[in-house]
Structure 1
Amino acid sequence: MVQQVTTRILIYYQYQTSTEVSREFRSSIEFPAVTICNFNRLFFPESQQELLAMQALNKVTSPASVEFAFSINASVNSLSSLTYYNNVTNFTTSEYYARKGFPLVDGQQLFYCRFGARSCTASEFKPVVTDMGKCYTFNADSKTQLWQTAGGSYNGLSFILNSMHWNYTEEAIYGKAEAGIRFQVHSKHVAPDVEKFGYAIPVGRKAYAVVGRKDVSNMYKPWGVCDPGKEKTLKFFANYSLESCMRECYTTVLIERCGCYQFDQTWAKSYAPECTIEQMINCSSPLLATLIRQLTPQSCSCTTPCSFTQHTVRISYAYLPNIPTRKAFEAVSSVSGQYVKENLLALDVAYEQMSIVKEFQSKKIEESALLSDIGGQLGLWIGMSLITVIEVLQYLMIRVKTFLSSVFARWKPLNSPKY
């Protein structure tokens, strides 16, 4: 009996969990946010001097490039073309990327756009400056909701985009060698990280992104890895996620050591000034590259959220355009088929099924189950129940009371006053 009870107590203190997975079908599902970034970060240089300055700026805003330059003893400070920005009034890197970054105008870059059964416009894509330059997020407003009401392609977001490959300014060695865009499907409550989690679409291709949604609920410590208290302590972000926590960790260390925030860390603009070009060269960019490589969720005290939404993406590609489409472009416009092949791309993002996978984690052994198990073992081996335990306690109390009464009775005459 003692072994059985001990074993069950020890099993309980292993803090094991059970995971229940179910699929819930719905008539409509809230559409996620979709962020797109061009591989080329800066466009439309007005002179050869500005082109060289753009390429130099791309170097110093890429932490990996700066760190690589230092590792081979290259003199990053000798980038004389950066002096171009000394003549720009009130220059900041974030403002420059926002002004010279990838534009998105209906009919020029956004040739076609539909969401479900309605058309959409460039105004529905919110610009955001990231480490990939000026990007755009569709369905970014957390106060509004877009719903997909049927599963499969062409029931979500679909667009044709001109990547403006002909106007790329990336430098061959330190710049990006790809042509096209990267996109990320994510919750609108989490800041995008397209550089880390994005999928690529090359020019001359159409990507079909099939999306699945999973709602995850994790157990708190010590049964799980999430910490409900930690989720309320982020300074720069309103909603907790593991990625947001890590970004806050990088930003905090960066501000402490460099006295400024990197141009794309706009969430910290109320706490420190934006880094200048000199600060990026000498401090923030190489430091950020080191932090990203060395810091871990454990060292930053970042835990997995207790609940979050995860979007899975499967991609397939088709050639763009086909021969009839190419001929149609050539017939109705001055755009050649070769131009279409080298500049245009398309994306279709939609939920594959009108269902949500729910993953729920719970205690494998509840406290009530442990007590019932112990009670069952006691009842099985010695016929003991709760009533029996109460009766035993009552008997012991009576025995103690009787013993104390007899001791008090013997003690009282000995201590009586004598006359």
Structure 2
Amino acid sequence: MGSILGRKVNFPEVLEDFADETTAHGIPFVIQKPTIPQKLIWFCVLATSFVIFCVEASNLMSTFYSYHTNVELVTSESVQFPDVTICNFNKMRRTRLEKDEKWKQIIERDDFWKVTGAGDDYGWFWDDDFSVSSTGDSIKEESAFRIKREISEYYGDSSYYYYYDSNYPEWINEPELPENLGPDNILSITRYLIPTKEELTKFGHQAEDLIRKCSFNGRPCNHSHFDVSQNKQYGNCFTFNSSGIAGGKISKVGEKFGLHLTLFIENPEYVGLLTEESGVRMAIHPRNSFPFPEDIGISLAPGFVTSIGLRQVEIKRLPFPHGECTDGKGFDHVQGENYIYSVISCQKKCFLNNLNKSCGCVDDIYKDFQNTAQCSHNNSKCQQFVQRRFHNNGLECHCPVPCHEFIYNTKISSAVWPSEMYQYHLHNELNVTDNDNIDVNLWKDIAVTRKNLVRVKIYFEELNYQLVEQIKTYSLATMLSAFGGLLGLFLGFSLITVFEVFVLVVNIVEIAVMKLLDEGTIYRVM
């Protein structure tokens, strides 16, 4: 449209000029046709085309936010070896606990059960003198009243009421305990027996005792290549750090390559009231991720060599607006300053935050809560209620999946180990001497040896890995092209036409404003 300044114009003239000069199809016929029926026919055609355009454009916009999943087999010459965390099922050593005033009571009761095979009165455990920790004044009164109300609504029974009194900073009702606590009721004790990090360091199994032999990718390694972490269920755990050995890369497949470990579990050190299983718990997880062997671990039995073949899967997801994944920034998770984000890490942190907020304590030993009181039997009902809400998705835990993660599919096989003939060579191979802190007699009998040794081999079955990637259905460029195609197909519009419509709207607004101001003379600006 030309710019003619100084000429009087009105609304019909602006429309006529637009019809003469626009590159759009259909609109000029609505304006310029001489009869009303002709104008109506072209208006109906234009309106129908516009409605179809709106429907198709809406479908196109919804498709823009969608994605499809592409599965690809990626050829690689080497892959990064994952982190491997090992834990002894027994969290603290019997001989160390016998010398401690607090914990030796566990050994006494454990020995009593082993000798008599009968029930015993475990009321001693619930005495204040033995309790590992107390919630103390950290419980906030408002949280107590809120939980009291929620529990009353949940159970519908006033017998479950308990309250907080500033003069008596404990949960009032005592937990209902079974009369006899034996192996079948072991969790009734162990759920409250959470040693401190200092106690695990002092009484727990050590890396140099557990890891008797180690090799990675054909090269020797030892306990110094393992980083220690502490777990409330398994005590001291050790994560193999392969980065110091050839960068932690694996370039060969098969059982001869990878991580080989011979582990000594010190079976005579086991405490029956603290440990149900015998052996090692192992977790294979992505590099720099926090280990959760109690949730995603593999149990390794003594007396066997366990072969674990790995196949790597890399997953790439799309963030908002196409998906709901996260890079972990802004999400609270276990030891987030040192480890990468994961769903399970986020969920555990959320649960512990809610437990701390509601009960004034936590039931774990993560570094994040090192200054928070440990939960005890005195607030067991509060703990149980929070746990029940967590299991029923009643807590506000928003933990989206990570945008980029690795998982490892495993194929596990096992065989009895060591063989009777190999037993004769094992003593020398492990360099056991009379001065070792291990009873040498353990290595002289095949049955006893098999109760104490675990052998494991972790390797890649192939270097090629599976890439599962979410891909946008439309990129921004293809989206604009498709949108332009719809405009051209149904309305005959181009980018220039859009600008022409914009100019028309500006002129119409100018006319309306000038009329409202009653200026009398109106001039076109474009």
Per-residue deviation, 1:349: 1.1
Could you tell me which of 293, 297, 303 is aligned with 1:198?
Answer: 297
The answer to whether 1:188 aligns with 2:287 is yes
Find the counterpart in structure 1 of residue 376 from structure 2.
Answer: 280
The answer to whether 1:216 aligns with 2:315 is yes
SS at match of 1:324: coil
SS at match of 1:377: helix
The answer to whether 1:128 aligns with 2:229 is yes
CA distance in 2, matches of 1:403, 1:252: 60
CA distance in 1, matches of 2:291, 2:406: 14
CA distance in 1, matches of 2:517, 2:230: 85
Per-residue deviation, 1:199: 0.4
Per-residue deviation, 1:303: 1.6
For the pair shown, the structure with the greater C-alpha radius of gyration is 2
The answer to whether 1:241 aligns with 2:337 is no
Within a 5 Å distance, the mapping from 1:17-416 to structure 2 comes to 17-45=67-95, 47=98, 50-53=103-106, 70=175, 72=177, 93-105=196-208, 109-131=210-232, 132-139=234-241, 145-171=247-273, 175-227=274-326, 231-234=329-332, 236-238=335-337, 239-269=340-370, 272-275=371-374, 279-283=375-379, 290-295=385-390, 296=393, 299-329=396-426, 334=441, 335-394=444-503, 411=520
- Deviates further, 24-33 or 345-354: 24-33
SS at match of 2:70: strand
Residues 263 and 274 in structure 1, CA contact (< 8 A), matched pair in contact too: no
Residues 317 and 402 in structure 2, CA contact (< 8 A), matched pair in contact too: yes
CA distance in 1, matches of 2:79, 2:355: 39
CA distance in 1, matches of 2:513, 2:428: 111
Could you tell me which of 12, 16, 32 is aligned with 2:61?
Answer: 12
Residues 175 and 378 in structure 2, CA contact (< 8 A), matched pair in contact too: no
Report the AA paired with residue 10 of structure 1: N
- Deviates further, 295-304 or 27-36: 295-304
Report the AA paired with residue 58 of structure 2: I
Report the AA paired with residue 449 of structure 2: V
SS at match of 1:240: coil
SS at match of 1:379: helix
> CA deviation digits over 1:24-83, x for unaligned, max 9?
3333222211111111122133649845425688x988xxxxxxx94655699xxxxx9x
CA distance in 1, matches of 2:206, 2:518: 99
Residues 212 and 356 in structure 1, CA contact (< 8 A), matched pair in contact too: yes
Structure 1 residues not aligned, in runs of 5+? 62-68, 77-81, 83-90, 414-419
CA distance in 1, matches of 2:131, 2:243: 32
SS at match of 2:207: coil
- Deviates further, 28-37 or 350-359: 350-359
Per-residue deviation, 1:297: 9.5
- Deviates further, 356-365 or 255-264: 255-264
CA distance in 2, matches of 1:72, 1:400: 81
Per-residue deviation, 1:361: 1.7
CA distance in 2, matches of 1:361, 1:394: 42
> CA deviation digits over 1:391-415, x for unaligned, max 9?
45556666777899999998259xx
Per-residue deviation, 1:342: 1.6
With structure 2 as the length reference, what TM-score do the two structures score?
Answer: 0.62
SS at match of 2:320: coil
Give the 3 Å change call, closer, same or farther, for CA 315–53 of structure 1 in structure 2: same
Give the 3 Å change call, closer, same or farther, for CA 403–299 of structure 1 in structure 2: closer
Per-residue deviation, 1:181: 0.8
Report the AA paired with residue 312 of structure 1: N
CA distance in 1, matches of 2:513, 2:383: 74
Residues 331 and 346 in structure 2, CA contact (< 8 A), matched pair in contact too: no
Residues 8 and 370 in structure 1, CA contact (< 8 A), matched pair in contact too: no
SS at match of 1:411: coil
Give the 3 Å change call, closer, same or farther, for CA 407–45 of structure 1 in structure 2: closer
> CA deviation digits over 1:288-317, x for unaligned, max 9?
555455324972122212222223322111
Residues 80 and 249 in structure 2, CA contact (< 8 A), matched pair in contact too: yes
CA distance in 1, matches of 2:501, 2:472: 33
- Deviates further, 242-251 or 293-302: 293-302
Quick one: percent identity of the two aligned structures?
22
Give the 3 Å change call, closer, same or farther, for CA 93–365 of structure 1 in structure 2: same
Give the 3 Å change call, closer, same or farther, for CA 23–226 of structure 1 in structure 2: same
Per-residue deviation, 1:182: 1.0
Q: CA RMSD in A?
A: 3.9
Residues 315 and 404 in structure 2, CA contact (< 8 A), matched pair in contact too: yes
Per-residue deviation, 1:207: 1.2
- Deviates further, 400-409 or 374-383: 400-409
Per-residue deviation, 1:359: 2.4
CA distance in 1, matches of 2:180, 2:381: 13
With structure 1 as the length reference, what TM-score do the two structures score?
Answer: 0.76
The answer to whether 1:3 aligns with 2:52 is yes
> CA deviation digits over 1:251-291, x for unaligned, max 9?
3223334444445222332xx2452xxx42223x7655554
Per-residue deviation, 1:121: 0.8
Per-residue deviation, 1:233: 4.1
CA distance in 1, matches of 2:417, 2:306: 10
Per-residue deviation, 1:372: 2.2
CA distance in 2, matches of 1:273, 1:399: 68
Higher strand residue share: 1
> CA deviation digits over 1:101-120, x for unaligned, max 9?
12332xx5433210112111
Residues 207 and 348 in structure 1, CA contact (< 8 A), matched pair in contact too: yes
CA distance in 1, matches of 2:106, 2:491: 86
